[in-house]
Copies of this chain bind each other. A is one copy, B any other.
Amino acid sequence: MDTRPIGIFDSGVGGLTVINKVLRLLPNENIIYFGDTARVPYGNKSKETIIRFSKEIVKYLLGFKVKLIVVACNTASSLSLETLKRSFSVPVVGVIKPGVEEALKVSRNKRIGVIGTEATISSNTYKKAIENIDKSFFVIQKSCPLFVPLVENMHLYDDIAVRVAENYLSPIFNKGIDTLILGCTHYPLLKNVIQRIAGRDIELIDSSMAVARHVKRLMERRNLIGGSIRPYTKFFASDNTENFSKLAKIFLRKSITARRVIF
């Protein structure tokens, strides 16, 4: 039994969607969550900057002797995962591969849409990951640079969210896709709005459940499973914003306070 915590990080609140799923499958794990709320969003920043931010956060999490790190941010997973894996000996799990595997299982017509930040989409990480597994899939990608700001500013169900989403999504929904990968951990918070525009024929892939299953398998294989009787989840953030607490309350169904960390 390994009681060391799991480290989970994101640019902001998006990674909170992963915590719930991990705790559903692994209820006796301790978790350290870090949200980089002072520097959010990552999605329109350069690869070098995203790698620098990610390394800083991993070093911070290692201070808690974490046994595994989940990069619960698609932008950081797309651009920094390989560097993190090379630079640190702790196992590091990203969110791209689990989401892709899920989408390939779900799609029947082999036409998949992927939405994500500018940085994620222009890295082509999803397209390459899908084509590496099966070249016969048609992949259409679309960056939605305002979706993270929408979520971080609490525009979750309102008219602005609907208008922005329609504008980004209508062009890709005309391409006959039956599956849409939500390629950013913030996007599940816009699921209602996105599904309304997508209609019933398009299945949305929220990779957080797939990530949790992947984490569980890996931990079993490496003998990292914990068994804390009163497991804790601790929250740290580079800025203490009201929205962080508000969104955490909505998605974790309890009030939390994040401790502010500056590095």
CA distance in complex: A71, B4 (Å): 45
CB within 8 Å of B: which A218-232 residues? none
Contact with B along A155-186 (1 / 0, CB 8 A): 10001100110011000000000000000000
CA distance in complex: A48, B49 (Å): 23
Tell me how many chains of this kind the complex includes. Answer: 2
Judging by beta carbons under 8 Å apart, are B239 and A45 in contact? yes
Count the A residues whose beta carbon is within 8 Å of the partner chain — how many? 32
Q: Does A27 contact B (CB under 8 A)?
A: no
From known contacts A160-B164, A163-B164, infer whether A45 and B52 are also in contact, taking CB-CB under 8 Å: no
Considering the complex, give the chain B residue whose CB is closest to the CB of A143. B153
From known contacts A146-B149, A163-B167, A164-B160, infer whether A38 and B45 are also in contact, taking CB-CB under 8 Å: yes
CB within 8 Å of B: which A164-217 residues? 164, 167-168
A121 to chain B, nearest CB (A): 12
Q: Does A29 contact B (CB under 8 A)?
A: no
Q: Which residues of B contact A159 (CB under 8 A)?
A: 167
